[in-house]
Homo-oligomer: A and B are copies of this chain.
Amino acid sequence: MNGAYLDNASATPVRKEVLDVMLPYFNEHFANPSNVYDIGSEIKQVVEEQRAKVANLINAKPEEIIFTSSGAEANNMAIKGVAFARQKKGKHIIVSSIEHHSVLNSVRFLERLDFEVTFLPVDEHGLIDPARLSKAIRPETILVSIMHANNEIGTIEPISELAANCKENGIIFHTDGVASVGNTQVDVNELNVDLLSLSGPALGAPKGIGALFFNKGVRLMPLIHGGIQENGRRAGTENVPGIVGLGTAAELVSRDLPGTENHCRKLRNRLVNGILDRVEKVTYTGHPDKRLPGHASFCFEAIEGEALIFMLAQAGIYTNTGSACASKALKTSPVLGAIGIRADLAQGSTVFTINGNNTEKEIDYVLEKLPPIVDRLRELSPIWGKEIPEYEKDVCAH
């Protein structure tokens, strides 16, 4: 059957080369790396080799990588870890208003513990203005967290400029790299960040593994307290097969990335141009150029995104309304609200995420199937072709 899996930001199959390397670590080389005897220290060495591979992918040092169970855990660990370690210095944190839930809900938790949080607005493309960040900085600001690339609209933020601003003021800078690492070149030195979160599945590693890069000078309270794993920074027996998966995947991504980026950009452009040519009244959201190479996001007028997702899935085409983590919350996206998309239009949000496994044939299949599905849904829509009343045009609330 024809089809196209274009929801790679939600989930990707583990790469076969990765799974093959992981397998012996489930029941052959199964020892606990914390143990001092031979079969334990052999595994410890394997874990350290993977740490070096992950570090290499983002131009970090091996000792600057902490393995976590997900990108969400890495974000929580960065935000809460810095907040709890530095709270005597100040209790003010700045984040963008389009951060992932794992950042937004971490700072909301801290607000309940008397931290103060500033949510920076973005422009119509989702960009943060460095001057605006400068103005938001106070003497008691201890942490700024601004994502590298946005998962819903693909926009890439000017991280190195934003971070430079903070470094001058002794403020720790964290960036959520979950949407970017694996999809575009990421260099923590170029970005000039103190902390960066990444997720395994985005690289072709399995679910259940992620990592946090931290600059060695950063004081960080553990999120998971306990034993001395990860140099005392993250307790719990190491997920050795997952770590081997992440290291192996990082190595493959390091090797393939420039080619993959070009491939994804080409397919993405074909998809975007094709949709804009064939479908009327559709808004391409996010920044036109400063965006992830494999990311295309649209709002289709007079359509419920969820209905479109379902209809496309029936044709074997998999896409998303926005963030998988919130897709069952059935609210309009705060990200689309932040870039000024009208509430009625935001309902029709659809996100396509392309990776190295996708083909031109899949894109052409989408371009064949999507326009008639949009037409059919619009025929059924009570608002298609009608003037939208003013009160319905409100930008969707945060």
Which A residues are within 8 Å of any B CB, using their own CB? 7, 10-16, 19, 26-28, 30-32, 34-40, 69-73, 75-76, 84, 100-103, 105-106, 108-109, 112-113, 199, 201, 206-210, 221-229, 235-242, 306, 309-310, 313, 318, 320, 323-329
Q: A206-B241, A207-B240, A325-B235 given as contacts; is B35 within 8 A of A72 (CB)?
A: no
Determine whether the beta carbon of A72 is less than 8 Å from that of B224.
yes
Q: A323 to B229, alpha carbons, bound, how many Å?
A: 12
> Residue A224 contacts which of B27, B73, B229, B326 (CB distance < 8 angstroms)?
B73
Determine whether the beta carbon of B36 is less than 8 Å from that of A309.
yes
Determine whether the beta carbon of A102 is less than 8 Å from that of B235.
yes
Determine whether the beta carbon of A100 is less than 8 Å from that of B226.
yes
Distance in Å from the Cβ of A210 to the closest Cβ of chain B? 8
Instruction: Count the copies.
Output: 2
Determine whether the beta carbon of A328 is less than 8 Å from that of B228.
yes
Determine whether the beta carbon of B241 is less than 8 Å from that of A207.
yes
CB neighbours of A73 from chain B (8 A): 69, 224, 236
> Residue A37 contacts which of B34, B113, B310 (CB distance < 8 angstroms)?
B310
> Besides the contacts A7-B35, A10-B32, A36-B328, what 14 more A-B pairs have beta carbons closer than 8 Å?
A12-B30, A13-B26, A13-B28, A34-B324, A38-B313, A76-B226, A102-B227, A102-B235, A109-B221, A109-B225, A208-B208, A208-B239, A223-B223, A227-B323
Q: A35-B320, A37-B309 given as contacts; is B236 within 8 A of A102 (CB)?
A: yes
- Chain B residue nearest in CB terms to A314: B38
Q: A206 to B238, alpha carbons, bound, how many Å?
A: 10
